Amino acid sequence: MNETLEVIKRRRSIRKYKPEQIPDADLQAIMEAAIWAPSAINQQRWHFTVIQNKDLLNEITELAREVMKSGPEFFAKRAQDPNFSPFFHAPTVIVISGDAGARFIQLDCALAAQNILIAAESLGIGSCIMTSPEFFFSTEKGQALLKRLGVPEGYKHICTVTLGYMEGERPEPKPRRENTVTYLR
Per-residue pLDDT of 52-62, as tens digits, reads 999 999 999 99
Give the pLDDT band (50/70/90) at residue 50: very high
Per-residue pLDDT of 127-176, as tens digits, reads 999 998 988 899 999 999 999 999 999 999 999 999 999 999 999 999 99
Helices (H) and strands (E) in the chain, counts: 7, 4
Give the pLDDT band (50/70/90) at residue 88: very high
What CA–CA distance (Å, rounded) separates 145 from 18? Answer: 26
Residue 11 has pLDDT above 90, yes or no: yes
Q: Which domains does the chain have, with CATH numbers?
A: 19-164 (3.40.109.10)
> Exposed, middle or buried by CB within 10 Å (0-12, 13-18, 19+), for 12?
middle
Residue among 35, 30, 49, 51 nearest 126 (CA): 30
Mean pLDDT of 114-121: 98
Q: Please tell me the predicted confidence (pLDDT) of residue 154.
A: 97
Query: Contact, 88 vs 17, CB < 8 A?
Result: yes
